[in-house]
Each structure stands twice: as C-alpha cells, then as structure tokens.
Amino acid sequence: MAAALVSGCVLPDTPRAPPATAAAPPVAFDGTYHGTVQVTSSAMKGAQAVWCNTPPAVTLTVQKGTFSYVLAHPDVPSDSLYSMSPTFTVTLAPDGSFSTLSTNGESQLEGGIAGTHLSGQINGAGCGYAITADKS
C-alpha cells in the first residue's frame, strides 16, 4: 500500500496589533459651581418686560458629569401661557461641553466647562441669558 504524505503549510507568525490603550479618562468636572445668570436679551415689551427677570445667583452641582438647572421666572403670572421655570437636565461631553433643551422643549442651554470655569447661554422663546460660574 502506498502511503500518501500530506504536508501542512505553516505560516510564520503574523504580527499582532499592539493592545489597545485605554482612552484617557475625562477631566473631572464634578463639584459645585457658584456664579451668576444675567438677562442678555428680551423680546418682551411693556409690562411683560419684567417676565425675563430671574434671581441672579446660581449654584450648579455637577455629579457624575451631569447637573440640573431651573431658570426661575418669579415675575411671570401663573395664568400666562409662558413657562414659569424651564428645567434643564445637562450631561457633559468628555470635553466639558453641553447642549440641551429644557424639559418642555421651549429653551436651549449650551456652553461648557474649561478648567474650573463654567459658561453658557440660555436661548428661550422670549428671553436670553448668560451664565458664568466658578468651581469652589
């Protein structure tokens, strides 16, 4: 009986890709930021002009890269069609930037954190605001 000789082909080791390195952890933005919010624009006229007023002091607490902010409008009559206090739930991007709509969809908050300084703008249907705060 004739024997068949089978030979296998062995390839040299293929170079392997180096192990993936973990992405650098995001800068820690967690903490408490104290600052101010100021009216920057108003489409309101006459007696309604005060509807944009909001308490100027702001304290924002960032936990696990998120924070919430309620823009109080104490001078808006409760029977008006305008939102008396748009609420924002913000999630920070790894670079500290943010952009979100209020829960009622009527206002937008966008901005960012650089180092220990937070800045942002709120653009609403009738009012605009600037927020600045520093981490304490």
Domain-by-domain residue ranges, the chain? 33-135
Q: pLDDT value at position 18?
A: 58
Q: pLDDT value at position 65?
A: 94
- Distance of alpha carbon 119 from alpha carbon 110, whole angstroms: 9
Answer whether 97's CB lies under 8 Å from 86's CB.
no
Pairing of strands 117-123, 127-135: antiparallel
Q: pLDDT value at position 83?
A: 63
Q: pLDDT value at position 60?
A: 98
- Distance of alpha carbon 65 from alpha carbon 28, whole angstroms: 8
Q: Domain 33-135 falls in which CATH fold?
A: Porin (2.40.160)
Q: What is the pTM of this model?
A: 0.77
Pairing of strands 97-101, 87-91: unpaired
From residue 63, alpha-carbon distances to 33, 59, 80, 91, 111 in Å are 11, 13, 34, 10, 17
Q: Mean pLDDT, 10 residues at a time, over the chain (136 residues)?
A: 47 56 63 97 84 96 96 87 85 96 94 97 93 97
Q: How many other CB atoms are found less than 10 A from the CB of residue 69?
A: 21
Tell whether the torsion through CA atoms of 41, 47, 52 and 55 is positive or negative: positive
Q: pLDDT value at position 7?
A: 46
Q: pLDDT value at position 30?
A: 95
Q: pLDDT value at position 44?
A: 81
Q: pLDDT value at position 77?
A: 85
Q: How many other CB atoms are found less than 10 A from the CB of residue 49?
A: 15
